[in-house]
């Protein structure tokens, strides 16, 4: 591989934790991000449901998409 063929910013492909919430909410957030064109992944639940409930489940996006993902979530309006 030539020097010019290397990715100038390999960290942009790294996954970052966007948020950590309850499992169902994590799936909803990931679906919202995907619908907005932001690839998202939900972390694995624990084999012990009480641990997933207590610790939450992570929603991951690439470092390159993190600011866009936050903007999508910030645009979400919660009902009163």
- Cα 61 to chain centroid distance, Å, stands at 4
What is the per-residue pLDDT for 56? 85
Looking at residue 34, what is its pLDDT? Answer: 96
Best CA proximity match to 30, nearest among 9, 22, 51: 22
Helix, strand or coil, per DSSP, at residue 9: coil
**Domain 14-72 annotated CATH 3.30.70:** yes
Q: What pTM did the predictor assign?
A: 0.73
Domain boundaries, the chain: 14-72
pLDDT in 10s for each residue of the chain, 80 residues: 455 566 556 566 689 999 999 889 999 999 999 999 999 999 887 666 666 567 789 999 999 999 999 999 988 655 55
């Amino acid at each position: 591989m030539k020097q010019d063929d290397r990715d100038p910013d390999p960290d942009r492909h790294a996954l970052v934790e966007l948020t950590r919430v309850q499992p169902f909410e994590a799936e909803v957030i990931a679906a919202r991000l995907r619908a907005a064109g932001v690839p998202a992944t939900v972390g694995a639940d624990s084999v012990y449901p009480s641990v997933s409930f207590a610790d939450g489940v992570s929603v991951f996006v690439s470092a390159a998409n993190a600011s866009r993902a936050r903007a999508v979530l910030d645009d979400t309006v919660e009902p009163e």
